[in-house]
Amino acid sequence: MVTGGARSGKSSYAESLALLLAPDPIYLATARIWDDEFRERVRRHQERRGPQWTNIEEEKFLSKHDVSGRVVLVDCLTLWATNFFYDMESDVDKALDAIKAEFHKFTSQDATFIFVTNEIGMGGTSGNELQRKFTDMQGWMNQHVASCANAVIMMVSGIPVKIKG
């Protein structure tokens, strides 16, 4: 698991790690395109990756893809969780149960997984109830994935800091 704040270097670090582990990794993108600015952000990410990547776009059901024997970079857990949270009408318990179940179904495959995620709860507490609910859910999901991970790296200003492993 590679975690950190916005623009901390998470994706670049995770991509480098995946390429160290395999010449042909899978990039599994979980983003749902909400607006033009985000579309451009996704385009820049795609442009940075070379032809050695197998690109898969999947908003929610990662387990429907057979990734056995491969190195898989999932970018990112936060956007993946957003999709469940949104589709389940902001019901934290329901969304958290669903994403945990899908996480375990997906990671039961014999593959090497690298999950990129955001530490969105490191700032102040939001005045927006919906944001507080999502921050709580995301924090609990990050804890769950970190407990399952062999290694956790936190990116701080482009510098990888080993947290676990």
Cα diameter, the chain: 45
Given 45, 65, 104, 144, which residue is catalytic?
Answer: 45
Q: Which residue has the tokens 């579309």?
A: 39
User: Other C-beta atoms within 10 Å of 44: how many?
Assistant: 8
User: Other C-beta atoms within 10 Å of 78: how many?
Assistant: 22
The residues pairing with 91 across neighbouring beta strands, listed in sequence order, are none
Strand 159-164 to 152-156 pairing: antiparallel
Do 105 and 120 form a contact (C-beta atoms < 8 A)?
Answer: no
Q: Is 144 a catalytic residue?
A: no
Cβ-proximal residues to 156 (8 Å cutoff; 6+ apart), any chain: 4, 8
Q: Which two tokens stand for residue 67?
A: 């990734």
Catalytic (active-site) positions:
45
